[in-house]
Structure 1
Amino acid sequence: MRRRIFCIDSVSFYASCECASRNLNPYKTKLVVLSNLEDSGALVLAATPPMKRLGIKTGSRRFHIDRLPWQDRKHVLYAEARMSHYLNVSVQIVHILHQFVPPEAIRVYSIDETLVDLTGTERLFGNDEHVARLIRSTVFRYTGIPVTIGIGPNNVLAKLVLDLHGKKTGVAHCFLHDVEKMIHPAPIEKMWGVGAKMAVHLQRLGIFTIGDLAHYPLDVLHEKFGVIGAELWHHAWGIDESPTILPPSSLFGAQRQRPRTIGHGITLMKDYTTYASIRLVLQAIAVEVGMRTRQAGLVGGSVHLGVRYTRTSERRGFSKQKKLDRFTADEQDFLPVLLTLFLDSWDETEAVRYVSVALGKLEPRSDHVQLSFFEDEWAKARRYDFLDLVDQLNVRFGRGTIRPASSLLKDSPLRTRQRLIGGHKQGGDSR
């Protein structure tokens, strides 16, 4: 039986949610969702199609809108992010999809994109085009969110035909015999799984389109990029055996691959120009990275610091890494190293706008329990017991329930982060 995989994408999801709250048509309304309404450098988190046609898209800044001609920007609506509302709408859309397939046939790929296996439902809902129209109309009727759909015999083709054709036409489908015509002409940057860095590597080999990738020698790709190279070659031909319906073992209790690093970064809401204020930022991020590492049952053997200067600076910033004296997941151990790395590299005339911290060379914490009567190891063990208790309380009662006293200081990002979802405001009622 031919598999029928639908990749369903919400159009400019955050922006469509805000339009739906205002009874506006996202295809005709100039609306952007900002990370912060008061900041001229606020990030654009989503933009409706009319704004995208003006060059404003996710990742743009508010000042980019301010630079548009007055005629283009005079009717622009601004909405501040309401992440809790968007999550609720996303869950509502998944519940609507339950009308068409059982929950186990739905694979949520992201907050605005879902893979659905509709194999065997032809007698219930009709052919691909009919059920796609039915899904689109049902989702829009109950949520006000327009969706586009890509249809294929596997996850990769459903996703590719959505990105390359479905987002323009509303619904698009691609079968294996359509791959050379519908998929191969697209630039390599459009390939699912090819990021900016991988695209550069492929272009150096003379691979500029998905078709170029498909006709490149498989053995050379495997030699240069390993399993990923071979996988991309197969995907370029529309070959994909990954399941849409995941077995329970992959969701519950399955052993996951150990991450190479655990990190966290913050785009600051203003320029930070003093060491005292930047120290608070580094401390806040170190607390977050330490907690995530402990929750993963890991310890790190190296620490990485990334800093970007303000957008008006001629210098981008710096990136530094250092091996730790001992494996740790305690921020008290690696924060002094971070501060030293920062002071050694920071130009005091430059304002800081972004900071990231990561622990690397991760290993299981159980492999580094070395209790002895030397170097006060018992005190370190008691410290980890304390940190584990703090982590458990923050998980149970909400992040930020127990936090450093320094988080109460004005410049600490911890003052507001517990009210955020995904780094952005939860939001309340629509504005």
Structure 2
Amino acid sequence: MNLPFYIARRYLFSKKKHNAINIISAVSVCGVALATLALVCTLSVFNGFQDMVAGFFTAFDPELKITVREGKVFDPHESHVAQIHAMPEIEVWTETLEENAMVQYKDRQTMAVIKGVEDNFEQLTAIDSLLYGTGKFVLNDSVVDYGILGVELMSELGTGIQFVDPLQVYAPKRNARVNMANPAASFNSDYLFSPGAVFIVNQQKYDARYILTSLGFARCLFDYDTEVSAIEIKLKPGSNIDAVEKKMEEILGERFVVQNRYEQQADVFRIMEIEKFISYLFLTFILAIACFNVIGSLSMLILDKRDDVETLRNLGAGDQLITRIFLFEGRMISVFGASMGIVLGLLLCFLQQKFGLISLGGGNGSFVVDAYPVSVHLTDVLLVFVTVIAVGFLSVWYPVKYLSRRLLSVTSSE
């Protein structure tokens, strides 16, 4: 057996001459364990929020989205785009057209994003799970066009879920100069009626700005013929999204951009990743402070074991072996603290997932979820363990070297 490790293990669990040293050692382990627990739980909560937000987006955003790199619109009948349409992995293909417009309901008006989609849009996304009201997903019929508003936009305009009066929509005419004598003649206008439903994505980007309607209505309003602003795609089950995305990029070339769901919301997830990283740095700093308890524990232990050190020297132990004993002692405290913290952190995350022990507060339905969401990722657990071990090992290396050298010089002089 490794002699320094064996002696260090005996020192860790054996009773010391001064009971305070045992208490300080226990406090050191608990300090490292609590810092580790905080790291595991905090990173898991950030993962939970990311998964929750991703769930909202994926109910509205397509698996893959093709847009043009420069400009607003493109012709979906181009040869490269037609080649993409013929790919066997594609299950649903829908053309969309998005543009800003002014909407008015009675005496209220605001700017909104009109998104024209095809009838198969509900096959592309889980839009039915986002609808609220007595109506259903209907874009048009033989008489009128319908508009499905985001819930916050509905509130701002005061339409209600089932509005009786039509919603007026205004958009400037393409390639036309404003007629100062008659400005109204420079705008296209049309009406949207209520299908008796609104959508709720729980994201302001959509709920406060978007109106879903038919692609034909959008093209007529914005003076387009066959142009689209995006092609949204759903793949067949079992398809490799990353591989299909890469293949599409190779076919389309530099003029087009292909994005998966996370890339479509890159700004949101980038902000969440930055927040998660900053929290990780702060908690790692707290962990480093907690490791000062380990240094104090080792200092007391070195003073307590001066007689043992003298005995080991008389038996022929070298300075390096004695120093390694106390290094192993500090490392074992870090390992035990990291292991305890990870186990307790995983247990707390499980209890939070199962019972929602820590709530978000309010209790009146003001939050999307009642309790903090938690999602444990193996990579985060490994990162926490490596971080705790690295910080613990580095924090005890120099103090043990320094204290051992002083102790050895004192015992040798005696």
**What's the TM-score, normalizing by structure 1?**
0.22
Query: More relative contact order in 1 or in 2 (CA 8 Å, sep 6+)?
Result: 2
Larger radius of gyration: 2
What TM-score comes out, normalization by structure 2 length?
0.23
Between Structure 1 and Structure 2, which shows a larger proportion of helix residues?
A: 2
Higher strand share: 1
